[in-house]
Chains A and B, each alone.
Chain A
Amino acid sequence: MAGTASLRSEPRRALLARFLAAASGAEGVEITALTRLRGGALQENWALDARFSGGALDGGQRLVLRRSAATGVAGSLTRLQEFAVQKAAFAAGVSVPEPLFASEDPTIFGKPFFIMRRADGTAAPDRITGDPSFEKALPALAERLGRELAHIHAIRPPRPDLAFLTPPAETGPIRQIAGFRAYLDRHLAPRPVLEWGMRWLETHLPPPVEPVLCHRDFRTGNYMLDGAVLTAILDWEFAGWGDPHEDIGWFCCKSWRFARLDREAGGIADRTPFYRGYERQSGRSIDPDRVRFWEVLASVRWAVIALQQTARHTIGGDLDLDLALTGRRASECELELLMLVDREDCRSDA
């Protein structure tokens, strides 16, 4: 977290206040609070309270400043690109914190950043999946999340405002598998289970579909609840064109069920309400075989991300303990791969 103290220094605050005033058309802006929020392994989020005098945001505002962390993971969007995706989602009716301003100027806050409104509530996945006070509201929440995902998937190419996104032909499962293999080839330790899982994927590819905007990290832990009410879908840095079932498989895969492995829709409900919300809003049916394919891919992908996270420690020198431990989770994904693909065989052998 080196350097974050200096971001709170007076000269930095003054620069940031000037930026906010110019961007919003205010006569002046006073920053009343600026604190780093916990979490966000790939990005830093700062709670920013400010008083605007005049302009589009006149009055007191509760905002979030989002900027890249010291070390990153390849394949994620830049902050300005993420800003554009979030704007498109906001316009499409997705519950997303309204994105307000973005800046590439590193002199203001050390790195490119963007500013959005601050949503209330918690995103803590263990609480959402484990706190009995949420229980009764969870099936309705799953249905609502299905509808939210359908809104995201209503964004289709071509979109001039999202022209920076990799063309759909280059984001499909074959390319993803090639990317994972390339990463594992550079990784120190061999991962036989991931190799086996990728081979299964390669021999079970589903036929291509019309691409949609995929969030690519739509899961419990990346939405906020105020009470039991959904207030925001967060973390758009991996968004791109793809098969809508990719997001559904990611949401349902075991890695994101936290306290409730038995509740297959994000640890909050069974799949029925989630699928129902999605199908009603989108007018399209979910193909369970496709979802299963993407769930297998999700296990491989999360394992690779976990290894990459830990490489930020072992190779990148980041001293964060959480990052150092994340690589160990790759084995959890590997167990899930074995269970998803091999369970029947295993049972018949026993």
Chain B
Amino acid sequence: MRDLPSGAALLALARDVLLRELLPLLPEERRLDALLVARCMAIAEREAETGEAPERELRNLYGAGGDTDERLRRFARELRIGAFENSRDGEARARAILWRLTVAKLRRSNPEFLAANGIDQPGGVVGRAEPCPSPVSGKRSMPSPAAKSSS
């Protein structure tokens, strides 16, 4: 058991001091650097709080053998050669993992970007199994490889 406050809590506190107390004291040309430091701290804080995703789905796909990194590497290799394109089911499963992976990474590194794209809106439901972005105005979508191969 680690001592309290946790590393994540200490980072949150330190970040608060940096932004609220130290930032106003800095000369204009160094403020951007301080904001970058704050951003690094926020990422570290969120990484300390959340686990790797999407571990469960990858285990379902490949079984429990090996570690997450190995499963992820295999998944990437198989996507490269189109291994999931033969069945609609396999492809849907693969895409669901891609979404979860991406959303989980952005929750740690840039939750504001998720919100700006209509995912994880503040006050909204966080942690959907398959996040579905709201439409971006005027953007046309493209046919998926599945749509193409089945035509």
Contacts and interface: CB of A to CB of B under 8 A. Distances in A.
B97 interface: yes
Contact of B76 (A38, A195, A334, A350): A195
B37 A321 contact: yes
Contacts of B132: 346-347, 349-350
Interface string B125-151: 000001011011111111111101100
B142 A296 contact: yes
A335 B148 contact: no
Given A191-B76, A199-B79, A321 B95 contact: no
Contacts of A321: 33, 36-37, 40
Interface stretch (B5-13, B16-24, B104-112): B104-112
Given A321-B40, A335-B113, A345 B76 contact: no
A190 B102 contact: no
A44 B143 CA distance: 42
Interface stretch (A143-151, A167-175, A240-248, A323-331): A323-331
A105 interface: no
B139 A335 contact: no
A344 B141 contact: yes
Interface in B77-110: 77, 79-82, 92, 94-95, 97-99, 101-103, 105-106, 109-110
A199 B141 contact: no
Closest 9 CB pairs of A and B: A190-B76, A328-B109, A195-B79, A331-B105, A350-B132, A344-B141, A192-B76, A196-B79, A343-B141
25 contacts: A38-B29, A181-B80, A184-B76, A189-B72, A192-B75, A193-B102, A203-B82, A296-B142, A324-B40, A325-B39, A331-B102, A331-B105, A331-B109, A332-B106, A332-B113, A334-B105, A335-B106, A339-B139, A342-B99, A343-B139, A343-B141, A345-B95, A346-B95, A346-B133, A347-B132
